Amino acid sequence: MLPKPPSGSGNSDLLRSELDQILDPDHELVRLAKIIDWKALEAHFGRLYIDKKGRPGLPTRLMVGLHLLQHAKGLSDEAVCAAWLENPYMQKFCGATFFQHKLPLDRSSMSRWRKRAGTADLEKILAKTLAAAQRAKAVEPKAFERITVDSTAQTKAVAHPTDSGLFLRAIEWMNRFADRHGLTLRQSFLRLAKRCRVEVARKIHSRAHKQALREVRRMRTFTGRLLRDIVRKIGDDLQLQTAFKPVADPILELLAQTPQSKKKIYSLHAPEVECIAKGKARTRYEFGTKASFAVINAKAKKGADKPQGQYVVGAQACPNLPYDGHTLKDQIQQVERLTGRKVKRAYVDQGYRGHGLQEPEVYISRTRGIKSPTIKSELRRRSAIEPVIGHMKADGKLERSWLAGAHGDAVNVLLVAAGHNIRLLLNWLKGFYAVVAAAIWAAVITKSNQSYRPITA
């Protein structure tokens, strides 16, 4: 059913004061709530619901606002719900009229809402943050015509993959399945697998490396024997076969893979995880999904107290580890779709060589022979995207994705980008109105000093 309106909206209550009467109207969250086009978001997400059927949905502004605050503050679902219950400014931002003493939703409602919305729907949220930045005069529309593109690794919330750890987890999965469905196994192999896991951890980085590999082969044998035992016990039962398929499929891939396999299983509960070679001294490999980001490449505005921030104008997950140059075309198309402006120049690093694009103009770092001083200056500014990615990892939730599946990776990338734009907008509104208030106060003081004339004898 279509979402119901926010609680208390349009109704007067003599016993309670509205939030507008008790909150500071110059607070950055209150001002930000006024410049976001909530009606367009409600109309867009309203098509995901069926009218006059089922329980009324939660307000779109509440759900969108919670996700924006969550990724702006870097909070979990539980933490943002707890903060919303205590913070009246967060409630005002999410559309509440009166202060709420009880949560109007459960934490799992946010998970279900993310599953209901697709990546195309969540792109609308990112586009509205950019529109709000234009409405707040924090960025000029022509700044979207020059962008910087780079990719990074979005790590998944999985343990560091090892063969012994994966085989032990597979054995635990199959024993749990057998206990749940009442299957009597010939041997569980749990005790032996745990002992082998300890021996592998002790010997794998010592001189007894061959003995450790022998223990790993034993665990592989235990996994195969247990899998065949369960298949025999299931027999021709179609219901058990259907239930066992999600458990058996990743385990079969695990047993079949070799060191030379192209597509490997690094996590049984997240088979979409990929190994990304970074070449860093501290982290040689990262396990997750590649993500591509585009930010504006613009100078500071003349006469402004702050420069144009590095707003994220494009964000997308890139599964299957594509070459960076092959992702550039899709990234530019997304930027043009979200901003409504045609990209004229794009600046990338050397990982994008061989992109094959004729339009727009693409400039690669360390390129010599450029005569235009403007392009030289913008090419030097290409490295400014690196701290933006760092902030999204440190202050946002890009460092570790907790959402399930490939869909969760794509959703997290878009929401992280929207949260970064919200942080920039909040800082802009806070600093901008502080400067305006100081200027007004200085003008008042100057006028009063000019009107004051001391009495002389």
Domains of the chain with CATH codes: 19-117 (no CATH), 123-158+272-423 (3.30.420), 163-256 (no CATH)
- 3-state SS class at 188: coil
Measured distance CA(164)–CA(201) in Å, rounded = 9
Residue spans of alpha helices (H) in 303-453: 324-339, 373-380, 385-394, 405-451
Q: pLDDT tens string for the chain (457 positions)?
A: 778 666 554 455 666 788 888 998 889 999 999 999 999 999 898 888 877 777 778 889 999 999 999 999 999 999 999 999 999 999 999 988 899 899 988 889 999 999 988 888 999 999 999 999 999 888 888 999 999 999 999 999 999 999 999 999 999 999 999 999 999 999 999 999 999 999 999 999 999 999 999 999 999 999 999 999 999 999 999 999 999 999 999 999 999 998 888 889 999 999 999 999 887 778 889 999 999 999 999 876 655 455 567 899 999 999 999 999 999 999 999 999 999 999 999 999 999 998 989 889 999 998 888 889 999 999 999 999 999 999 999 999 999 999 998 999 999 999 999 999 999 999 998 876 655 555 555 565 566 656 555 555 4
By C-alpha distance, which of 374, 401, 428 is closest to 291? Answer: 401
The DSSP bridge partners found for residue 140 are none
By C-alpha distance, which of 162, 184, 23 is closest to 99? Answer: 23
Reply yes or no: is the peptide bond before residue 360 cis, omega within 30 of 0. Answer: yes
Per residue, what are the HEC states of 209-248?
HHHHHHHHHHHHHHHHHHHHHHHHHHCCCHHHHHHHHHHH
By C-alpha distance, which of 298, 297, 310, 296 is closest to 424? Answer: 310
| Contact assessment for residue 64 and residue 35, using Cβ atoms and an 8 Å cutoff | no
0.85 exceeded by the pTM?
Answer: yes
User: First and final CA of the chain: distance in angstroms?
Assistant: 82
Q: What is the DSSP letter of 20?
A: H
Residue spans of alpha helices (H) in 50-94: 60-73, 77-86, 88-93
By C-alpha distance, which of 148, 146, 453, 405 is closest to 288? Answer: 405
